[in-house]
Amino acid sequence: MKPYALLFAGQGAQTPGMGLSVLTESPSLQAYFDQLQAAVPFSLTEVLKGDDGRLNQTRYTQPSLAVTSLLLYQQLKPFLPKQASAIAGFSLGEITALVASGILDTSSMLSLLNVRAEAMEQASLAQPGKMAAFIGASDEQLGQLLASVQEEGVLEIVNYNCPGQRVLSGKVEAIDKAVSLASQFGARRAIPLAVSGAFHSSLMQAAQFPLASILKTLTIHEPSIPHYFNKTGQIGHQETITDLLIEQVASPVLFETTLLNMANAGILTFIEIGPGSVLTGFVKKTLPDAQVISYNGIKDCDAVKELWK
């Protein structure tokens, strides 16, 4: 039976009402949801149902999205034929994936995530920033773009999503100018992202200190499934995981490298878990011969089963 990898969605994939349909489709997961709720310092149902904008505020987004992905994972597990051969997550998804790979138990992961979300929000308030996706420009062209706007402040390539797609992160003025100049440096499109800070840039360094503190209190296990980490695009091990998680918030996400390394290990089948299908698009652009499914609920079970026919 062919190997496969699980990919957990990152921040930006959130949508109002996400996760609640899982409880309707699979009422037996209500007890699991209640367990997750006990580790989250706000009402998940209120935030998921609400239209007050909290779902797009980092301190609410991250736990809400992680809980949604964990609910989907629990719903999906009975339909998987065997244990996954690898796991990865995109940014926030890397933290969610710590449960599936056995590195942290659910309560510890949510404790970490609550601190991470708060720390990133505070860093964003102290150092306001933005992010934008650039489509079609080469890394060399983006380097030239960065040089052309350096007087506006911090601006860095932070997400290496797939061939031809990179995300820049930095000061508000720097991002705005880079977006306005994008076409002059080879980009077909420049798309501002719906996030509340300059994530994965050096402007997030202050968020590393609270992460280091909480991680000292948690028990890190050796992964039971190979877990590929954002900072390196490679498999992490027990002795390096703490540093990888601390550094991740202020380091680029090497997702394209992660996918290529998985493919080199013989993995060409992927299941994305979480709302939306952003990572599915990255897989298709990076590995055109791969099979990939976005799992968003029970309606996708048949497509998952087809992967092994």
Q: Which residues are catalytic?
A: 91, 200
Give the count of beta carbons closer than 10 Å to the beta carbon of residue 60: 24
CB 148 within 8 A of CB 187: no
How large is the greatest C-alpha to C-alpha distance in the chain, in angstroms? Answer: 56
C-alpha span between 246 and 232 (Å, rounded): 13
Tell me the helices (H) and strands (E) count for the chain, helix number first. Answer: 13, 8
Query: What does the alpha-carbon distance between residue 115 and residue 24 come to, in Å, rounded to a whole number?
Result: 30
Nearest to 68 by CA among 37, 41, 42, 91: 37
* Separation between Cα atoms, residue 227 and residue 218, nearest integer Å: 18
Residue 212 near residue 133, CB atoms below 8 Å: no
**Three-state DSSP class for residue 38:** coil
C-alpha dist (Å) from residue 200 to 154, 206, 247: 12, 12, 9
Cα separation, 298 vs 127, in Å, equals 41
**Count of CB atoms within 10 A of residue 172's CB?**
13
CA distance 309 to 306: 5
* Rounded Cα–Cα distance for residues 128 and 170 (Å): 8
Token readout for 122 is: 């505070």
